[in-house]
Chain A
Amino acid sequence: MPTRSARGLQRAGMTATSHSSSPSGLSSVRLWPAFAALAALWLVSLPLACLPGPVPLAAGQVFHALAAQLGLAAPPQDTSLMLVVGQIRLARVCLATLCGGALAVAGVALQGVLRNPLADPFTLGISAGAACGASIAIALGGVAGRALSGLLSAVHISLPGPAALVAPAALAGALLALAGALWLGRGDGGFRRESVILAGIAVAAFLGALVALIKALNEESVTSIVFWIMGSFQGRGWDSLPLLLATFVPGLLAVALGWRALDVLTMGDEQAAQLGLNVGRARLWLLAGASCMTAGCVAVAGVIGFVGLVVPHVLRLVLGCGHGPLLAGAFFGGGVLLVWADVLARSVLDGGQELPVGVVTALLGGPFFALLVRRRT
């Protein structure tokens, strides 16, 4: 979908430049190479990011195991190699690239829908909702979870452990928070973009306070809540993939099919309606898609900031402001960024210790974003 849309806009640019070329216009001459470079970078990043890790492995071994995992080579003798590379590292890299892509695509969609350069999954309270849901699950996991599973085990139903409850709880929290923000921000005849953002900020503030309350009341779970809120891929494996894909695929589909609507929405609600767009429905559709993707990411990896904010801004400098190339570029750009942020997070400290990847993205993204803002103003 993204490639097709990119091609559409690409053609737009192509004929524009053939018509009369101006140095200041968005030139497709640099659109395609930039896009190809991004995709190539993404493709190369995936295997390379499998190289570093706490278990020292030679590059040849890693690539051999990767090839075997893809069925391109005979599996190596050492089964632990397959385990480390195929089960742990490759799974993490895949999760990271999907999450990064999802967050960046959601960022593009949210910034487009709300016509606000500061919009990202945080602004609408989506991340806060997920964090709140997860915190409740973690805190209750200790108390109610035990009681409930004890009760249920009597009738031979085994409940998934509290850890497995965190992800669905985060998903539910994210969707509830979004629904709350939209409900608060609804105006007559649709959502007004300012009020949706204000409502999102209000929801985020309230839920943040709720998380703090849970932490204060339930001291034994503080560490895991804090770590979860910082965002991390530690210990996530292929078993998280179904949940991620279940939110990523429909969300991406909703956003990708709305790519032209995003272009039309840049004209403002009124003109978008006059150009034939059903503004209320398109906005709901795009918001739901973006939230769905975000919720899945937050459910799997916790709250990872700045990807959804920084990636769209950088890409806009390179790819212009047509949403087709932007969405496609965001998938690759966000994926690459988060994969390497995760590599940093797991390899900076010695002895198998990890940093939360959210800390890495914030540490990298904060100053970078500040620079970007300074350069543009």
Chain B
Amino acid sequence: MTQRAPAPDATPAGLASSQDTGQGTSQAASPFEARPASGGPSATATPPMLEVRNLRSGYRGRPVLQGVSFAARGGECLALLGPNGSGKTTLLRSLSGVLHAQEGEVFLQGRSLVDMKPRQRARLAAVVPQGGEYPRELTARQMALLGRYPHLSWLGCYGRKDYAAVDEALEACGAAALAPRRLAELSGGELQRVLLARALAQESPLLLLDELASGLDMARMAGLFDLLERRRAAGACVLMAVHDCNLAAIYATRLLGLKAGKLVFDGPVDAVFTEEKLSALYDIPIGVLPHPLWGLPQALLARAHGPRSHDSFAACPGDACFGDAGAGPGFDAVVSFGPAAGFTNRDAGR
């Protein structure tokens, strides 16, 4: 390891205060406004944390990524949006080195991924995978400790530093109490937290997260993403595949739209989180409204017909909304709200 540029090291103050994040969301508007302009002019001094050049990759007989290029620096949080099967997971697998590029190249801190040993790669990029099969008898702490593997000597023994890093990571992910439990006893959300702790214990400046939010309740999700936001602010680079565009709009500094293996948009949230771009990405009408508290854009499903188009809307309160099956215009009206409408900063408390 030559130089590890922006230290993702746990800023102790930031990590210790994972409990205050419940209220943190209300005063969190400020960090989001201070977004670094992506690909600024100062981008020449150090190589970017991650650079992808014309990446083509996929599986035997089924190419998935069809020439993807982008770069990311420390302090950025990139959200990868796209429909199922668009290649989000394939991209993350290619970036973590387990899927070899058929064409194009990936650079981590200016070094080509193919020239790197797995150990060096793991010190630069940590992954929270989606799914997976885990030994039932392993304890959560034992699993989190495996994140220290790229830092171990050839003897493979954990040292004091390793235990400290793991305990800190577990604490930060709100998983300290889970530490002695067996993986068989963990719920899906608890497992996600332990997996994130493992990735954080790896102390890599680049975090690749595949559907981190899956299986998490809203509070846990907010807690973990606040934690990631602190890591990002401390200089880490986060690339996450997400299905929840609203989550992406809140936490990401930049959005990447992946469709059929190609990047269809790449830019800061304000620029690309629009009705046209999202609707085109997911092939379904999507409306965009400002978040009532923070003014950030948020997406809503906005098909012409309602959810129960073949039912009568018996449960609809007030009966004022829609008459009968397939009543289109009502939702069309919702779509046309636009960002200027309604309830921005209604009692935003700031």
Which residues of A are in contact with B by a Cβ distance under 8 Å? 4-5, 7-8, 11-12, 15-17, 19-22, 24-27, 188-189, 257, 259-261, 263-264, 266-271, 273-279, 316, 320-322
Select from chain A the residue with minimum beta-carbon distance to B143: A267
In the complex the two chains form, is A320's CB within 8 Å of B98's CB?
A: no
A residues near B122, Cβ cutoff 8 Å: 274-276
Cβ contact within 8 Å between B60 and A274 = no
Q: Which of B117, B125, B141, B180 has the most CB of A within 10 A?
A: B180
Q: Which of B125, B129, B149, B154 has the most CB of A within 10 A?
A: B149
The complex places the Cα of A19 from the Cα of B142 at a distance, in Å, of: 13
Question: What total of A-B pairs shows CB separation below 8 Å?
Answer: 123
User: For the complex, what is the distance from the CA of A259 to the CA of B156, rounded to whole Å?
Assistant: 8
What are 5 contact pairs spanning A and B, CB under 8 A? Answer: A5-B156, A17-B180, A268-B132, A276-B118, A320-B137
User: Does the CB pair B155–A321 fall under 8 Å?
Assistant: no
- Check B157 against A5 for contact (C-beta < 8 Å): yes
Q: A12-B163, A188-B60, A275-B122 are in contact. Are A24 and B135 (CB under 8 A)?
A: no
Which residues 140-174 in B have Cβ within 8 Å of A in the complex?
141-143, 145-147, 149-150, 152, 154-158, 163, 167
Decide if B119 touches A12 in the complex (CB within 8 Å).
no
**Known contacts A12-B145, A273-B98, A322-B142: A22-B135 contact under CB 8 Å:** no
CB of B280 within 8 Å of the partner chain? no
| A residues less than 8 Å from B142 (CB atoms) | 12, 16, 26, 263, 322
Cβ-defined contact, B139 with A260, below 8 A:
no
Assess whether A267 is in contact with B118, with CB atoms less than 8 Å apart. Answer: no
Contact check, B176 vs A275: say whether CB atoms are below 8 A apart. Answer: no
**Quick check: is B262 within 8 A (CB to CB) of the other chain?**
no
Q: Which residue of A lies closest to B100 (CB)?
A: A189
CB distance from A51 to the nearest CB of B (A): 38
Q: Mark B109-127, 1 if CB is under 8 A from A, else 0.
A: 0000000011111110111
The dominant DSSP class at the A interface is helix
Chain B residues contacting A276 (CB-CB under 8 Å) are 118-123, 149-150
Complex CA–CA separation, A279 to B97 (angstroms): 12
Q: Measured between alpha carbons, how far is A260 from B135 in the docked complex, in Å? A: 15
Query: Contacts A5-B156, A266-B135; is A274 near B97 (CB within 8 Å)?
Result: yes
Give the complex CA separation of A134 and B182 in angstroms.
45
Q: Are B181 and A24 in contact (CB under 8 A)?
A: yes
- Closest partner residue, chain A, to B127 (CB atom): A274
Cβ–Cβ contact B149 & A264, under 8 A: yes
Contact B180 A25 (CB under 8 A): yes
A21–B142 alpha-carbon span in the complex (Å): 14
Q: Which of A22, A26, A257, A275 contacts B149 (CB 8 A)?
A: A275
**Chain A residues whose CB sits within 8 angstroms of the CB of B129 once the complex forms:** 270-271, 274
Identify which of A8, A25, A267 contacts B132 (C-beta below 8 A): A267
On whether the beta carbons of A15 and B163 are closer than 8 Å, the reply is yes
B139 near A26: Cβ-Cβ < 8 Å: yes
Which of B93, B100, B177 interacts with A20 by CB under 8 Å?
B177
Contact indicator A273/B157 (Cβ below 8 Å): no
CB distance from B122 to the nearest CB of A (A): 3
When the two chains form their complex, are residues A4 and B157 in contact, meaning their CB atoms are under 8 A apart? yes
Closest B residue to A11 by beta carbon equals B158
Contacts of A19 in B (CB 8 A): 141, 167, 176, 179-180
- Whether B139 and A25, one on each chain, are in contact in the complex, defined by CB atoms closer than 8 angstroms, is yes
Cα of A264 to Cα of B198 in the assembled complex, Å = 12
- Proximity string of chain B (62-84) to chain A, C-beta cutoff 8 Å, 1 when within and 0 when not: 00000000000000000000000
CB–CB A277/B138 < 8 A: no
Smallest Cβ-Cβ distance to B164: which chain A residue: A15
Contact A260 B156 (CB under 8 A): yes
Q: A337 → chain B, closest Cβ, in Å?
A: 22
* Complex: A320 Cα to B98 Cα, angstroms: 29
